[in-house]
Structure 1
Amino acid sequence: MKNQHTNHLIELLIGTLFISTSGVLGKFIDLPTPVIIWFRSALGALFLYIFCRYRKFNIKINSPKDISTILLSSVLLGVHWITYFYALKLSNVALGMLSLFTFPVITALLEPLFIKTKLNVIHIVLGIIVLIGIYILAPDFNFESSQVKGILLGIFSAFCYALRNLFLKQHVGQYSGTTLMMYQISVLAVLLLPVMFTMDVSNITTQFPYVILLALITTAIGHSMFIHSLKYFSVSTASIINSLQPVLGIVMAFFFLNEIPTWNTFFGGSLILVTVIIESIRSRKR
């Protein structure tokens, strides 16, 4: 059992690493945000469909009742992605990712309303530590600048992300994470199709390799692994472990975008890492 737990934890951490590439790619890709999300969704859905057929996964929806939940979670995912990418464009990778990572606290507060569990005080404490780490990580900013808009969009994106994860938690026992992700981004590709005719996509020829990375590594593989982990961890546990993303994203931004972190970044990041380690140990004992 312990070896299985370790394997599931490693899978969750690898998924977190892959999802962390969204910060750098979202900031770097020079296309309108809705266009980026359409390519991310359409190509990601294609990759996942090919994978599902190759592995002979059952991709049928078991009950008509599931359709509404899948549709709602798809819309929440789309709003989360779009607001998150706007947050990255308005601020920087650090602020965009860090404001997004209020979602473990939001998840811990909302989870008892969805699955009728008692509010776990330890999750609240760990969430507060994450918030303190985020506060330390965030650089000084002017409230009149676009950075504030970026942070507010990041927090709203976090709320949508938490809701989407909680809705999906009700279905992970019936569907594979890959199947759920394929359905969600297929719905998004359909909903966002009009942007391909109303926005400037002329730059796609130079940006296509990065869009492919976003669709394959970040979306198809990373998010599928994260959703799959919800079979073995509570949403709160997976969310807190997922808080590694800002740390990983800031490191990537340093190497690929020359965004230089401060000492506050290292100190705040260490607090986030502590919560990840604590929750990893706690989840192993359960």
Structure 2
Amino acid sequence: MNSRQAQVAIHITAVLFGLTGIFGELIQGSATLITAGRAAFATVTLLLFIGHAGHRIQWPARSAWGALILAGTLLAIHWATFFVAVKIGGIAIATLGFASFPAFITLLEGFLFHERTRPSEWLVVILVTLGLVLVTPSFNFQDKATTGLAWAVLSGLTFALFTLANRKAVTGMSGRELACWENAVVAALTLPWCFTEFAALRPIDWLWVFTLGVFCTALSHSLLVSSLAKLKARTAGIVIALEPVYAILFAAILFAQYPSMRALLGGALIVGAIVWSGLQRPNAKTGTGDRTAPRR
């Protein structure tokens, strides 16, 4: 893959990430079912990708299982809460609420790792917070959209924790292998809670779950990993920050879900803050590579 192909790949990745909420809306099933099906199909697909590349997947060392289970648990909660947000609040609200995760990463890095937070990073936190205030339909949790936004912010928080957990995750594993094992943990954790629900799925729902797991999870991660061989992680992050834009566009076209002007302004603040943050000079704590890049 050359640099031009890597640029195309990372934009395809952002589009696939943006489609995640669309499938959450389309699939007639619980958030747990969607999470379990997505993880199961992603695990099988990643195993096939790894095998096709001529590699043998490593069985993690006993000492690595604690980190894998922690990361997989956080990923399962992140996905499940995101799909609850989609079901309750709609695609735009869910995606914009989730987009708050960079602010949580900034706050948690300082708290958990005792790392100095730069003034520019505090500015991102402030802008994201203002954006969330504007996105909030009302400050009444009887409002479904507000409840959906709360679930979406919880999804952003757990994704931030998942991202930080990956900083301490298994070493000596490729990004695809790590993603494969984490998806396997998600499937193992969620399938027992919704196994009987799969029998009631319509054929079209099976297709949507398959597409979500194969294309929006396994393929998108593989494209992200491949593009990072030619692109800087912060460059990839800027493109991935466009996910809410794609999600809102798809929701408007497919479901006629149009956010209010106030929500759009809040979304512009959130996305703009993330993009601006990505344009800043990286410091030692951010690193590069597929472990630190955004991954859905």
TM range (shorter): 0.7 to 0.9
Asked if 1:182 corresponds to 2:162, the answer is no
> TM (normalized to structure 2)?
0.81
Structure 1 spans left out of the alignment, 5+ residues: none
In the alignment of these two chains, the number of paired residues is 281
**Would the aligned equivalents of 1:38 and 1:188 in 2 still touch at CA under 8 Å?**
yes
More divergent stretch after superposition (43-52 vs 199-208): 199-208
Separation (CA, whole Å) in 2 of partners of 1:17 and 1:224? 14
Contact 1:48 1:178 in 2 (8 A): yes
Contact kept? 2:137, 2:146, Cα under 8 Å: no
Partner of 2:279: 281
How many percent of aligned residue pairs carry the same amino acid? Answer: 25
Equivalent of 2:161, from 163, 186, 193? 163
- Contact kept, 8 Å, 1:88 with 1:96, in 2: the verdict is yes
Structure 2, unaligned stretches of length 5 or more? 285-296
Query: How far is the alpha carbon of 1:178 from its aligned partner?
Result: 1.4
Give CA deviations for 1:59-80 in whole Å, capped at 9, x if unaligned: 2146432221011100110011
* Among 12, 15, 18, the residue aligned to 2:13: 15
What displacement does 1:283 show?
A: 4.4
Q: Which residue of 2 aligns with 1:82?
A: 80
Per the alignment, in what secondary structure is the counterpart of residue 253 of structure 2? Answer: helix
Distance verdict in 2 for CA 1:243–1:218, change over 3 Å: same
Indicate conservation of the 8 Å contact 2:19/2:216, yes or no.
yes
Q: 2:26 aligns with which of 25, 28, 32?
A: 28
Which of residues 69, 72, 76 in structure 2 aligns to 1:71? 69
2:121 to 102, 123, 139: 123
- 2:261 aligned partner: 263
Which residue of the partner structure matches residue 109 of structure 2?
A: 111
SS at structure 2 position matched to 1:117: coil
Aligned match of 2:294: none
The alpha-carbon deviation at position 277 of structure 1 amounts to 3.8
Q: Return the TM-score normalized by structure 1.
A: 0.83
Deviation at 1:57, TM superposition (A): 3.4
- Structure 1 segment 191-270 matched on structure 2, within 5 A: 191-199=189-197, 201-225=199-223, 233=233, 242-270=240-268
Write the distance in 1 (CA, Å) between the matches of 2:236 and 2:56: 25
Cα distance between partner residues in 2 of 1:280 and 1:192? 34
Q: Distance between the aligned counterparts of 1:227 and 1:172, measured in 2?
A: 16
Residue matched to 1:153: 151
1:185 deviates by 1.0
CA distance in 1, matches of 2:240, 2:122: 15
Residues in 1 aligned to 2:127 and 2:240: alpha-carbon distance in whole angstroms: 14
